[in-house]
Every structure is written in structure tokens, then in C-alpha cells.
Structure 1
Amino acid sequence: MTAPKLVLYNSNLCPYAARAVLALAETNQEHEVVPIDLSVPRPEWYLKDINPYGQVPALKVNDEDIILESLFVAEYVADLHPEAGLLPKDALQRAQTRYLIHHWGARTQPAHHKATFTADSAEAAPLRAALITELEKVNSLLLDAHRVEGDGNGPFFLGDKFTFADLAIAPFLGRFFLLGQYNDIKEITKDEFPQLERFFEWKEAILGRASVQKATPSQETLTTNYRKWVK
């Protein structure tokens, strides 16, 4: 089967778009990139022909079809390359993968956002405590991940292999350091919270992966860019 022609509409600063970037990198899928500047109004052609909501990523397939939303774009790329093993074959693992991604987006990431972008440290302190509670739940999900024969005991969600759950959350782990950049609350460390050992093992393995490092802007760039979110 002939590989489809893919064009990715991307912003390097967007963590959601980074999911698509990682999927393309992990599968070695050839593609073209069209940069979209999110700091200015989207051009009319983008709103008309690509994404009426102006968001990234968007993926054009064979100069005709458009796929929107980061998880759907990344999943499409992963489906093109089953040999990469990003999407687990086991039904239970696929369900757990979906839930971990959902949990992070619905609960963990909002808690991190609130604690990070509240300038008043007195207000941020209880928000940090709420984030720690959410991280304890993530830690439990990581510990309870179902393993099948051949997965190994590695640090990723499903063992030795970097898979879709790791890919989907990696861009947000790459911004985890922002906690404490805009207020005086302390960062969350494994020395202070040994009950989060599995979380930190997972986080460090993901951030050490070459594809993730390449897709993550420098800390200085991210700190400057996200300052606009501070209350």
C-alpha cells in the first residue's frame, strides 16, 4: 500500500500538537510541516480550508482529507504503522491507555494549571496540595497497569516499550517544571513525596526519550511563553 501524503499544521509551542509530532517521529512517517503562529489571528485560508476553530494540530491526508484534534491525529499515524507498537493490541491495555489519558486531561492537568499559574503563593499552596493528591492517583494508575507477556518491567506505562499513553502525556510532563516558576511554592520532588516514586520513574523515562526532548522547547522558551497565563 502506498504511504499517504501527510501535511501537519503545527505550532512548536503547543503541547497538544506535540502529540502529533511525537507520533510522526516514533513511526518515522514522512510528512511536511506547515507552521501556524498561535500568537496572532489565524489566516483566513486556515480557518476556511483546514480547521474552522483555528486550533493545531491538523493533518491533511493526500491533499484532500483533514483530521483534527491531537489524539485523533496521533492515533491515525500510529494506526498507519502498527509495527511501531504504539497502540497496544491487548483490549484491557487499550482501555487503560484511554483512561490514563482521559484522567490526566480531565483531572491532573487542570490541577497542575491552577497551581502553576496562580501568582499569589498563599492561594497557590492549597492548589499545590490538590495537585499532589491527583498525582497520587496517577501513581496508582501506573502501578496498576496491566502487563502481558513480553512487556517487561520497564519504566513506561506498559513496561519496556514507549507506547501511546506515554506519547499523549509526554508534552505535559515536559511542562511540569513550570510549577513554581510564577509563584513561591516549591516544586514537587520524589524526595519529599516518596509515595510518588512510580510517577517520577515514569516521568523521568519519558523526558529522557530522544523524540520527546526534540519535540519539547527549552525551559526558558516555555517559561516566557506561558507567562501570559499567570493570574
Structure 2
Amino acid sequence: MTVSKLVLYNSNLCPYAARAVLALAETNQEHEVVPIDLSVPRPEWYLKDINPYGQVPALKINDKDIILESLFVAEYIADLHPEAGLLPKDALQRAQTRYLIHHWGARTQPAHHKATFITDAAEAAANRETLVAELEKVNKLLVDAHRVESDGQGPFFLGDKFTFADLAIAPFLARFFLLGQYNDVKEITKAEFPQLERFFQWKEAVLARSSVQKATPSQETLVSSYRKWVK
């Protein structure tokens, strides 16, 4: 299939949609953007013609075909540009990439949410301890990632190169600072938790990526926009 036109339906505040934005940036893929305001009910045309669930991102291909869900959209874009090297060729690395993304979404991100968007001091402190325990598991996944010789010893999940695992979790790492913004829990730091050294090495490298910085709203904007989630 020849791709002549891509249209991304996007909200700049949505971390899931940011996965598609990053994939487009990392592959230098030409595209159009249609902004979708998530603070109001979705327009009827979007629900009818693009995504009946009203979510972002959505990707329209050649004014006809639609792909939904952030990981599928980002993977499709990565598949269009194998030369970008976002998707590992090694079967074990592909499996570990999928598992890291799954683990973050199923375990780590919910723990971060529970520790962040709550004002009850005791519950927030307990949830912070749970988050640290989950980050220790992420740290081990990062340490144990399979490397081939050409990957190098760099800070990303698979070495020197920014790949799909980094891309998929980057928007959530960019919002990690929200911990403590709505309650009195302390920031999780490398000084307090040296056992998370590999996690912090990875997080710092991902957040320093130019494409990640461009895809991330200011901290002030994020703090304000996410305040509605606080219990």
C-alpha cells in the first residue's frame, strides 16, 4: 500500500496521543494534524467518521483507512520507516519491548496515578511506597534488557538508540514530575533511592530527547490541566 497522505487527530495534552506525535517526529513523516479538544464533547463528525469512542490519537490514511489506539498508530508509523530503527529486529528485544510497555501501563502508571492525584496525606504516602516498589521492577527490566553487540552501552532501553519502548513510555516519564504537585509527598530521587539508578539514567536520557521535549507541554500547563483528576 502506497501512503500519500496521513492525518493525525491529536490533543497536545494527551500522553497517549504523544506516542503518535513522537513516531511521526522520529521518522520525519509528513502529515497533517487535526486538533481535538478533549475538554468538551467530541463533535459528531469525529464520532461518526473517525473514532466512535471519541479518543485520540486516530490516524487517517489516504483519506480512507483509520487506525485507532496510540500503540497501533505509533507502530504503523514506525513500520513505514524501518530505516529509523524504532522497532528492534531481534525477536527477544521485540518481546521485551512489548513487555516493558505493558508493565508500565498495567502496573507502574496506575501506581503513579494513585500517588499523585490524591490529597489525603496518609494514603498518598502509602501509594508513594507502592510506586517505588513498582519502579524497582522497572529498574530490573531495564538492567536485564537483552543487548546485541551493535546496540552499545547507551542509556536507552536497548542501548545507544532511542527505540519504540522509549517512545511509548516517554510521555508518561515527561509527566512523572506531577508527583507531589497536588499533595505533600516528596519527589522520588536517585539520592533517596540509589537502587533506581538505571531507571533515572533512562528517564533523564529520554526526557533530554529533542522530539520528547517538543511533544511535551510546559510543566505549568500540565499541572493546571491535570488538576481535575485530583481526589
Q: TM-score higher than 0.5 here?
A: yes
Counterpart-to-counterpart distance in 2, 1:202 and 1:161? 12
Give 2:67's aligned residue: 67
8 A contact 2:3–2:62 mirrored in 1: no
Counterpart-to-counterpart distance in 2, 1:226 and 1:38? 12
Alpha-carbon distance, 1:45 to partner: 0.1
Alpha-carbon distance, 1:3 to partner: 3.8
Counterpart-to-counterpart distance in 2, 1:59 and 1:149? 36
Identity %: 88
8 A contact 2:157–2:165 mirrored in 1: yes
Counterpart-to-counterpart distance in 2, 1:101 and 1:3? 27
| Aligned 1:214-225 pairs, distance under 5 A | 214-225=214-225
- Report Cα offsets for 1:16-58 as digits up to 9, x if no partner: 0000000000000000000000000000000000000000000
Task: Determine helix, strand or coil for the equivalent of 1:150.
Answer: helix
Task: Determine helix, strand or coil for the equivalent of 2:8.
Answer: strand
What TM-score do you get using the length of structure 2 for normalisation? 0.99
8 A contact 2:26–2:84 mirrored in 1: yes
8 A contact 2:157–2:163 mirrored in 1: yes
Which one-letter code corresponds to 2:212 in the other structure?
A: V
Give 1:99's aligned residue: 99
Counterpart-to-counterpart distance in 2, 1:160 and 1:150? 9
The answer to whether structure 1 residue 170 and structure 2 residue 162 are counterparts is no
Which one-letter code corresponds to 1:54 in the other structure?
A: G
- Report Cα offsets for 1:143-192 as digits up to 9, x if no partner: 00000121000000000000000000000000000000000000000000
Aligned length: 231
Counterpart-to-counterpart distance in 2, 1:121 and 1:51? 39
Give 1:89's aligned residue: 89
Task: Determine helix, strand or coil for the equivalent of 2:7.
Answer: strand
8 A contact 2:101–2:169 mirrored in 1: yes
- Report Cα offsets for 1:165-223 as digits up to 9, x if no partner: 00000000000000000000000000000000000000000000000000000000000
Counterpart-to-counterpart distance in 2, 1:4 and 1:183? 48
Alpha-carbon distance, 1:2 to partner: 4.6
8 A contact 2:9–2:35 mirrored in 1: yes
Which one-letter code corresponds to 1:144 in the other structure?
A: D
Task: Determine helix, strand or coil for the equivalent of 1:7.
Answer: strand
Large movers: runs of 4+ above 2 Å: 1-4
- Report Cα offsets for 1:73-116 as digits up to 9, x if no partner: 00000000000000000000000000000000000000000000
The answer to whether structure 1 residue 189 and structure 2 residue 180 are counterparts is no
Give 2:11's aligned residue: 11
8 A contact 2:20–2:57 mirrored in 1: yes
Q: Which runs of 5+ in 2 are unaligned?
A: none
Counterpart-to-counterpart distance in 2, 1:46 and 1:124? 38
Compute the RMSD of aligned alpha carbons: 0.7
Give 1:29's aligned residue: 29
Counterpart-to-counterpart distance in 2, 1:125 and 1:3? 50
Alpha-carbon distance, 1:4 to partner: 3.0
Q: Which runs of 5+ in 1 are unaligned?
A: none
Counterpart-to-counterpart distance in 2, 1:17 and 1:108? 19
